[in-house]
Amino acid sequence: MIKCKNISKSFGKNEVISNLSVDFPVGSTLVSGANGSGKSTLLLLIAGIESPDSGAIIFSAQEKRNKINSSISTDSIVPPDVFTLNELFKLQKAFNETNDKLFESLVFETNLDRFLDCKIGNVSTGTKKKFSVVCALIKNSNLLMLDEPFNGVDNHSIEVLKEVILNDKRDKIIVEHQNVLPFNHLVSL
C-alpha cells in the first residue's frame, strides 16, 4: 500500500496539489479528476521524479523490503528529440531490467517496428504514446503507473496494450478518461 499524507506541490505560484491525503491499496487504482487537478503530478510524486513541497509519501513495509521500483508512462517526461526510438529503447534496457520477449512482441504488434529508426521528435503523438507505454510495460518493476495510456493511440494498438495491461500482475495506478480499463479502486482529485 502507498499512502500520500498531506502532500502539497506547487510549480511557481501555481499550487497543483494542496494538502492531499489518499491511500493506494494493492491492485489497480484509477485516478480521476478534471484537467489540471494534479493527476499527472501525483504520479510523478509517487515515482520520486518530483518531490512534494510538504507532506509525505509512505510505502508499506513490504514495499520497502522489496525496494519500491516503478515504471511510469507520462507525457510529463519528454525524451530529447535527437534520439531514435531504437536508441531510446536501448537506453531503457541499459539502465533497467527489461522483459525482452515482451518488448519484441509489443514493438511488432503495435507497429512500432516501422518507426524504430525515426527520431522521437519526428513521429506522431500516438507513436510517442505507444513508445512510452511500451517502455513502462517492459521494465521489470513492482508498480506500473500509466498516465492516459491510450491518448492518440490507434484502436488496434489500444486492444494490444489493453490486453497486456490487464494481464500484468503488478500493482497499477492509472490515469485514464476513456474508461477502457477496469479497476479495483478509485481516487478522485
Q: Give phi and psi for 111, each to the nearest 5.
A: 65, 20
- Output the pLDDT for position 65: 46
- What band does 61 get if pLDDT is binned at 50, 70 and 90? low
pLDDT tens digit sequence for 13-25: 999 999 999 999 9
Q: In residues, how long is the chain?
A: 189
16-55 residue pLDDT tens: 999 999 999 999 999 999 999 999 999 999 999 999 999 9
Indicate if the pLDDT at residue 187 is higher than 70.
yes
CATH 3.40.50.1220 fits 2-188, yes or no: no
Per-residue pLDDT at 64: 57
Tell me the pairing of strands 143-147 and 70-73.
parallel
Please indicate whether residue 3 or residue 65 has the higher confidence score (pLDDT). Answer: 3
Could you tell me the pLDDT band of residue 140, with boundaries at 50, 70 and 90? very high
Mean pLDDT of 72-77: 92
Span 94-127, pLDDT tens digits = 999 999 999 999 999 999 999 999 999 999 999 9
Query: Which residue bears the cell 500484468?
Result: 168
Return the DSSP state at 116: T
E-strand spans in 47-184?
A: 54-59, 70-73, 143-147, 171-175
Residue type, 50: E
Mean pLDDT of 148-175: 96
pTM score, whole prediction: 0.92
- Three-state secondary-structure class, residue 27: coil
Using alpha carbons, select from 167, 126, 168, 170 the residue that is nearest to residue 149. 126
